[in-house]
Structure 1
Amino acid sequence: MAFRFEKLTLKAQEAVVRAQELAGEKGNPEMTPLHLLGGLLSEKEGVVKPLFTRIGV
């Protein structure tokens, strides 16, 4: 089954794009889960950062 980027929400698409940018900035040819986490945490209006703050991470 192929990955269908267009099926993601707009915020998820933005996080994936940011993760790809982070990987490229660090000279990595592949995006890893850590890059995706970085992309999710960089979202200004995302839910991940407030959720982590709320649970004490």
Structure 2
Amino acid sequence: MKYILVDRKQVLRLKRAVKDIKIGLNLFQLEMSSSDKKILYKRIVKETAKSLSIIDEIKR
């Protein structure tokens, strides 16, 4: 599966939303390894983009 970002405004919207989520996660002081944090962060970005209807899913 590949994802295509639609336009610049939506990219900025996604960045802001993800930043808010990251700030929220930092408040909880999650005790995680850096690799787990990376996996979690990627999932957050993907799910946030889906919920904001920013990405169109393309299946090959």
- Structure with more relative contact order (C-alpha pairs < 8 Å, separation 6 or more): 2
Give the structure with the larger strand fraction: 2
Q: Which has the larger radius of gyration?
A: 2
TM-score range, shorter chain: 0.3 to 0.5
Q: TM-score, normalised by structure 2?
A: 0.38
